[in-house]
Structure 1
Amino acid sequence: MLSPSSSSRLPAHVALLMLAVIVFTSFYPFSDWSYSGRPLFEFLFYPLPYYFRLFDNLVNCLIYIPYGFALALVPRRHWLGWLWALAAAGATSFCVEFGQQFLPTRVASNLDIAYNLAGAFAGATLAVSPFTVRAWRHVRDWRAEWFAAGAPADYAVALVVLWFVTQLNPSVPIFGVVVRPIGLPQPFVSPLDNPVLFLFLLEAGGAMLHLIALLLFVTCFLRHRRYTARAVGGVILLALLLKLLAAGALLKPFAFFEWFDLNVMAGLSSGFLLVWAITRLGRITQTLCALLALVASQMVVAIWPLRANTQDMLGLFRWGYGHLENMGALVEFLSHLWPWAAGVCLLASLLRELRRPRSGHP
């Protein structure tokens, strides 16, 4: 049994994932780089408030709260973690604002740095507070009880959190890997005589493979098989709740159930049956099946013949288009990144299992 006091790299993994999110959202679309010729550090001395937009400022604060929280939990000493979080978050914010000077669609601002530091301060202070210290001890106990020991399992927990971020776009069907476009029909070449059946098989099959890959990704890192049903049920319920909340917050009323697709639901029903059968097998078999499902789901994405029109999809939302484009790009980027990161994690776990002595293990 893993000791509850055992060290965990989970905060470091979460901090790295948050850093990737911050960098992507700050520099997207990574094009049209240029230098205006103005002094490079001029933005640090702009009179406050400079370029004040309430929504942007709130986002700048909120996105650094989990970043500061995770950074503060990396060192073992609480006071050192608090200082480290502020220093690392401050350096991140400065580098981001400095780099934004070279993007014509971005504005480098000292006010953004102030809001970033305020968010990091709140997150780091929350992380080292007595209440959170006690709560984090319970989280470590839960992690030690539910998941296998070792860095791959820490990485896996962080990737499961990242997967939920990929579901924040409510116009994409739950567990869907492809999207039927809105608007005029698009011509495509079908290898089957029935093109409707071809699209159905890809849409349903992609969702089935996505479900199998995710659920097996979770179950193959569990310490005991008795946790399988609760882990599967928890992931499904959280994903459903997240889609409902995202749809209520982002979509126009007529598009509230855009994330619900009958073809996808048919694929998910088949996926549940396969997951139930595969989880009866050993950990190595589950890991191999998860890897195969990941690869197959990406093949579905590669051969999907239709392309969604961004402007048509944005018409489903109630938010401003600029913020939605950034959010949509982030979710799409993470959706493409997740299978590769999960595949690396599964391969590391598989190698670990193959090297483990078979005698004396259940």
Structure 2
Amino acid sequence: MKNYFKTYPNKEGFFEGYGGAFIPPVLELEMKKITDAYHTISKSHNFIQELRSIRKHYQGRPTPVYYCARLSEKYGGRIYLKREDLNHTGAHKLNHCMGEALLAKHLGKKKLIAETGAGQHGVALATAAAYFGLECEIHMGEVDMAKERPNVVRMQILGATVVPVSHGLKTLKEAVDSAFESYLKDPENTIYCIGSVVGPHPFPMMVRDFQRVVGIEAREQFFEMTGENPDNVIACVGGGSNAMGIFSAFIDDEDCQLHGVEPGGRSDKIGDHASTMKFGTPGIIHGFKCYTLQDEKGEPAPVHSVASGLDYPGVGPEHSMLKDMGKVNYDSVNDQETIDAFYELSRLEGIIPALESAHAVAYAIKVAQEQPQKSILVNLSGRGDKDIDFVVETYGLPKN
């Protein structure tokens, strides 16, 4: 039997027909340096030991798996959460940010550059930069900056420069464009730390590998708690880093159904959602090939989600491959279902989820009602502190 992680991606960075590196010649040498460094440095004893120490003593790993007794009682099924909201900085993002920053340190880079949507990747990278004594520059759309003001302030407190992006829809896609432009000005002294399993090779592979810790922990913890593997594993998908992190431990389990949950937004109309797998077609975006939402001209289409971290017109190339293979069921929930799940988890379990994670919780509620005897493991990828002002101002508090 093939080793999945040694098979995908191939040496050119392709997951079957997706991925690769469609980049300007000026970046080809830098990407090769990063790839070579990753394959050598990240496999070394010193790198692995330092990263393990960071995860244990700084990040607070392992994060626990928690059984939602009241949510399960109300909706059926047996719903469990992998509590990435308890990871330092409040989301799964620090798992790959500390790895990328550690790699940057070994490469002699002076500055970390990245985009952010909901701000969690930006906060995590700013945290990693502060830890390693590196400069940090975060590009963020002005719409997202207004929605996620607490995270903007956190990045600034941590010492990062937050660059407002004011063109286009002023959200995640434009933030990626802006960050790439900045990186191109000085690739020798900077490193672009992509915030998900997207972008040109080697980033989809690197981010997945750094996020595999989530799946490794979750599989062991769930088995210890229940004596079996989960029947369903559910995670939200924008670019798809938290989903690949937890899916990675269960890809070869035929008895475990994997569910990737995309933002259904306001409607199925173009510009009202970000359901890339449901409505997209293969195309090239930001230096790699994946399923993309495209307009009539073949350009990336406008997208929408109540969750700033999911409003992206592309998706990770590995997810694109897994869709074609039939290994993962990709579906969506809309904005209102997400808000309802946000409040349900808060009031039944005392856990306020990030709006991104609330998509996965909403879908878990559906699965629980359809499969009342089955177990469900949700990757709760982040906490909702960043979202509470936006949710209450936009949707109000629910009636008791």
TM-score if structure 1 supplies the norm length? 0.29
Question: Higher strand fraction: Structure 1 or Structure 2?
Answer: 2
TM-score if structure 2 supplies the norm length? 0.27
